[in-house]
Structure formats: structure tokens, C-alpha cells
Structure 1
């Protein structure tokens, strides 16, 4: 197993922070070493200095993508922070139905990981609109930096344990049973989620219209305060007046530094200025 020096770690961490926003502190040194060692072995690289040179010289971007796939932690589950989904169902969806005149809902799950969050939003939306859904564009954009998790999310296959928190009616209405105790999301819900790779550190996001709802939960915990502030400002500029931002319960916005208005823990709203 190759070891990483503090100098090598600093160079690698600097590259990752600059390009992906992830702030790797020195206590993550052993984690980085463990997760990246296989990549060094695959390329017959003898040191992390060689690996760093390999990553920055690879013009295809494949080396950097493989590195980020290893570095990022993609832990999530259905109904995580369930009070957010209750609020989305009871407050946000009725607001959208009464105010979005062109019936084009624009909901973004940023840092969607393995798909549990956007699929939950899609199931809530399907349940809420019922037969009226055919008259609405309810598709949800789901993005992540990791191609590996996006690939898994698009397949929409989950174990029985993964689905424990879901209502029984959802399990029967929105999933089909496979072999070996696995279930797959039905096409009705799967087709309501559009998966794309997106780096939240990109200078601009590819949105032509502003968004009604942004879910970006448990992503900014990996960023330093300046990176978080810059990202939240970008979110604000992308949000329609009246629109919502949901963040993780372990995250918070400094009220003096954001134009979003606090609604409830980890939920914020862009309101009209007086």
C-alpha cells in the first residue's frame, strides 16, 4: 500500500478543492490514502506525486472523475430528514399548483447521490397531482458529480432494506419486485427524473429558467464557508421569487449573509423584497 506524504496530500487536496469545492482537511489523510490506493495500483504508479501528475495531465478528465468517484461519500436513504418531505407535500406542492401558471415545475435535486431523494420527490408529486399530473411537467432534475452513483440511480434498483421507511402503498404502486429481494422503480416514476452530471463548482449552471425548488442537502458540509456562501448566492439567483431551498439539518445559512428567509430548520425561501 502506497503512503501519502503531507506535501502530496496538500497538493492533491488543493486540486480537489479548487475544482470540486470539497475541503479535505489533514485528518482525512488516511481516508484519501485508503480510497485512492487501488487507482495507483491499476496505473502502476509508485507514489501519490506520480498520481497527481497523472490526474492533472489527463486531458480526457477520466482520471479526475475516477478520483472523485472514490473520494466522495454517497450515503443516503429514502425519506432522509422526513420533515422536509412532509413540508414539500403539505406546503410546497399546493403553492406550486396554485401559482405556476404554465404548469412547468422546475425542481432540482443537487447532489442526488443514488437517487432516493429525487425518486421520493417524484413519488410525492405523483401522489399529490393524481390524474391531473398528465397536464403538468413534473420532471425533476437530479445531478451529482459522481458518474458512478448516477449510473446506479438511473437503474433505480433497491433492496427491501433500502425501502423500509417507505409507505406500503408506495412499495406496491411505484416498485416492481425483482429476484433476490430487490425492487426496481416503475417507469412511471423513473421517467419523471432526469439525471445529469454536474459540478457545483462550475462557474455557471445550464439553466434557461429559474427554479421553484432546490434540494441540496448534506452536500455543503464538505465545503469551506466561502465556497458555501458563493454556492448559496448562486442558488438564490437561480430561484424564482417564492421558491424554496432545502439544505441538510447538519448545515445552516448565516442569516446576515444570505437573502433567503428562514422558514423552518434547514428550509429557506426567496421572498419578494419590500
Structure 2
């Protein structure tokens, strides 16, 4: 890919999904696009740029381009301290506020381990402590990982971090020992709504304010202005005294936001910034 086309593509990606790719990432980007080229029968990356921008395929090709280049590393019970805080502190605080149904949002859910972990923790807490009920929204920009998440089928070894009692309660293992995969229990799958959402959009159509928002290990791919824009919009959809969970490598230091740190990369909303913009949930693109 020549330098002009690389610059054009990376600027488009920055404008669309907020990820800035420097010249040092050129080889990585080219490698991730090779399979896409093979799929659509193109020989060169420069030909792909023409296909994208000059061939009238921009609208239909953009989601597939995003699928090809996004990183989707995820695990069950990743950063377990967050879930300890959720059970030991956050849920008790929400119950004391009179919350009877916890609304949670996994804002970059990838293939699904994060929202399913949330569902396990919330359901287990409800069983042991008598409530509250819960509903989870799980969104991502990548349509392929959303399809995987909705199916809820994973290699058995990927479920190793799930505590044994929760595996017994929430994971369905096939009777055939040669099938090295398992499926999340239907009652958890039905508690989660999956939809496509781009965090770079000007509005997030997620409906009512959320008590819990998990947006972890996403901000690290954005520059500071984009980080502040995204976090500010997430806060607008956080209920008063609701909780925002970020990745352990992420920081909002110096952003002057209406949240305060209450634990390691856990923040609580302290005031109403500009009001929660209500947008009909039906506007989300379900998968």
C-alpha cells in the first residue's frame, strides 16, 4: 500500500472508530487486510483502497473493514478485582438506593466473556442474596464477534477462569467428550441483549440510564481527546451514583469529569453533567 493510500485509510479509520494508526502500524494493518482481499478477489491493497473509496462500496464495506482490523482479546473474569468490588460494594450500594433491577452495559463486549461474566455474577448474587433482578446490554462495533457472543459457545479451556460452582450452574458441557466446547446456559443468554454500537457515534441509543457500565481495554486505542469524548458520553448514560469500570491500563486523570475513583479503575458518578440523553433503544442495530 503506498503512503498516500495508507494515510487516506488511517484517517478514515480515525474518523470512523477513533483509532489512530501511525506509520509503524502499516505492516500490521496490511496483514489484517490480506484475508479480506482474498475474500473479495482483489490482488493488491491499493486496489482495495480504490474499491473502498472509489468503487461505491464504502457503506457496505466499512463494517467488514472494521471486523478485519479490530482487536478482540477477551477472557472470562478478566481483571477479577472488578467483580469482587461489584459483589462486595457496588451491589450493596445500589440496593441501599432502592434499585430493584440492575441495568448493566458491557460497552465493548467482543465475543461475550465480559457480559456473560457479569450475568453469572449478578445471577449468583441474586440467588444467594435474594435480588436484585438484572438486565444486561452488550454492544460492540464488530458484527462477527457479536454473532459469536450471541451464540454463547466457547472452547472448554476458555471457561477455566469461571469458578467451579458457577461453571456447574451456568455452563452446559456436551456429553460427548470429543466435543471440546461448551455453551452458556439459556437463562443467562436470554438476560443479555446484543447489539452493534460504535463508541464514536454522537449518541448512544441505549435507553434508560445504566447502574453499571463496563468499558474496559478500549480507551487504550484512542488518543486523549477521543478518550474524553467517549467517557463523557458513557457518563451521560450512567445513573446518579452508578459505576463505571475501565481497564487497568486506562486513566481519566485530568479529564475533569463528574466521577470519582472508588477503587482501582472503578468510578462512581457524582453529579449530573449535561443530562442523560434518552434515545429509543430500538435504534440499536441488533445482531
Q: Under a length normalisation based on structure 2, what TM-score does the superposition of the two structures give?
A: 0.87
Match among 95, 103, 107 for residue 106 of structure 1: 103
Q: How does 1:1-274 map to 2 (within 5 A)?
A: 4-56=1-53, 58=56, 61-101=59-99, 103-130=100-127, 137-178=133-174, 179=176, 180-272=179-271
Tell me, yes or no, if the aligned pair for 1:54 and 1:63 is still in contact at 8 Å: no
Could you list the structure 1 runs, at least 4 aligned residues long, displaced by more than 6 angstroms after superposition: none
Deviation track 1:14-68 (CA, whole Å, cap 9, x = no partner) reads 1011011112122111111111022223333343333223224546733111111
Compute the displacement of 1:167 (Å).
Answer: 0.9
Segments of structure 2 that go 5 or more residues without pairing to the other structure are: 273-287
Tell me, yes or no, if the aligned pair for 2:51 and 2:57 is still in contact at 8 Å: no
RMSD, matched Cα: 1.9
CA distance in structure 1 between the aligned counterparts of 2:253 and 2:129, rounded to whole angstroms: 39
CA distance in structure 2 between the aligned counterparts of 1:132 and 1:267, rounded to whole angstroms: 23
Compute the displacement of 1:157 (Å).
Answer: 1.0
Q: Under a length normalisation based on structure 1, what TM-score does the superposition of the two structures give?
A: 0.91
Tell me, yes or no, if the aligned pair for 2:216 and 2:247 is still in contact at 8 Å: yes
Segments of structure 1 that go 5 or more residues without pairing to the other structure are: none
CA distance in structure 2 between the aligned counterparts of 1:129 and 1:253, rounded to whole angstroms: 32
CA distance in structure 2 between the aligned counterparts of 1:60 and 1:47, rounded to whole angstroms: 17
Residues 90 and 48 (structure 1 numbering): CA distance in 2 closer, same or farther, change over 3 Å?
same
Tell me, yes or no, if the aligned pair for 2:215 and 2:245 is still in contact at 8 Å: yes
Compute the displacement of 1:214 (Å).
Answer: 0.7
Q: Secondary structure at the match of 1:108?
A: strand
CA distance in structure 1 between the aligned counterparts of 2:264 and 2:128, rounded to whole angstroms: 33
CA distance in structure 2 between the aligned counterparts of 1:132 and 1:94, rounded to whole angstroms: 10
Residues 269 and 255 (structure 1 numbering): CA distance in 2 closer, same or farther, change over 3 Å?
farther
Q: Secondary structure at the match of 1:107?
A: strand
Tell me, yes or no, if the aligned pair for 2:101 and 2:133 is still in contact at 8 Å: yes
Aligned length: 268
Tell me, yes or no, if the aligned pair for 1:217 and 1:247 is still in contact at 8 Å: yes
Residues 106 and 143 (structure 1 numbering): CA distance in 2 closer, same or farther, change over 3 Å?
same
Residues 269 and 58 (structure 1 numbering): CA distance in 2 closer, same or farther, change over 3 Å?
farther
Residues 213 and 17 (structure 1 numbering): CA distance in 2 closer, same or farther, change over 3 Å?
same
CA distance in structure 2 between the aligned counterparts of 1:32 and 1:86, rounded to whole angstroms: 37
Residues 259 and 160 (structure 1 numbering): CA distance in 2 closer, same or farther, change over 3 Å?
same
- The more displaced of 215-224 and 155-164 is 155-164
